[in-house]
Each structure stands twice: as structure tokens, then as C-alpha cells.
Chains A and B, each alone.
Chain A
């Protein structure tokens, strides 16, 4: 079962409450997503650590049901 953009958003928000999360289904068929996540939790963390936090939220789905997720993360300005 392919994930929906909405489900991905929910999973990220569970780990990063209060984050601004935008997930787009790039082809409309659940094969390729792009996510933009802005979270207070990212303050003081480098990009690798920020992405790792999002990957943790999607535990085990990456590379499986979720082949292609393009990620952009940042701390609030």
C-alpha cells in the first residue's frame, strides 16, 4: 500500500509536534514525494541530523513503501 501525502505529514507531526510540514505527491500516484519541514526541534542541529529526525518519524518506510522522498528541512527563522 502506497502512503499518501497526508499520512506522511501525520507521521512527521507525531515526532515533531508544532512543526510546519508540507508534503507534496509529486506525480499524484504516491511514487514520489517532496516534504518541507520547519521545526523548532531543528535549532542547533545540522542538516544531516535534521533529516535523520524526519527519517526516524517515517521509521522503516523509507526505501520500502516510500521509495522517493525529497526532503528540505530548516529551523524557523
Chain B
């Protein structure tokens, strides 16, 4: 079975180094967990693309199936699903996130 949303997601996460599926956008996150990930990405000052799942029900459901992950936000780095808010927060705190960015050739500007 092919799901057209999967193709869209695959294209997006492969076309951009860092992609965040979230509720709201970076200026106005509409959920505390999404806001946390935006803050972390802003803190490290990396470029990222966001998709607001609240504006697209098929994306909201599709991304959960695509990654086999039941919650939003979801962070993708170089096409790979890195985790949700808890994982990203833990990785940011213990230095793993920066190490991961560097290991895939993304230079945090902070």
C-alpha cells in the first residue's frame, strides 16, 4: 500500500537537513512540547523547516504512521527520525544533539 502523504514526507525530510513536524509554527507554537523543540533548535541556531500538522489532518495522521510514533512534535535530521520532545530535550542537555548535528555535517551556529 502506498500512501501519498508518505511520499510527501519522504521528499521533505530528504530535501532539508532539519525538518520539524509541529503544532503551530516557529513564531506561534500551539503546544508546549512543540515550543520546547523550537526553542532548542533556535538556541543552537540551526536552519530548519517546519510543518504545521494542525493545518493538515492527513499530514497529522500520516507522520505518525510514517515514523511509527504517536505524538507531535517529531524532529527529522538528514531524513532520519531523531525523536520527539523528550528525546530531543535529553539529547540537547547531554550534548548528544550537537554531536549528532556535527556527525552529519550540520554546523550549529551557537
Identify the A interface with B (CB < 8 A): 47-48, 51-52, 55, 62-63, 68, 70-72
Contacts and interface: CB of A to CB of B under 8 A. Distances in A.
* Secondary structure class of chain A's binding surface, majority of residues: mixed
A47 B84 CA distance: 10
Nearest to A58: B70
Interface residues of B, number: 14
A62 B71 contact: yes
Interface of B: 33, 64, 68-71, 81-87, 90
Contacts of B90: 47, 72
A70 B33 CA distance: 10
23 contacts: A47-B83, A47-B87, A47-B90, A48-B69, A48-B81, A48-B82, A48-B83, A48-B87, A51-B83, A51-B86, A51-B87, A52-B68, A55-B70, A62-B70, A63-B64, A63-B70, A63-B71, A68-B33, A70-B85, A70-B86, A71-B86, A72-B86, A72-B90
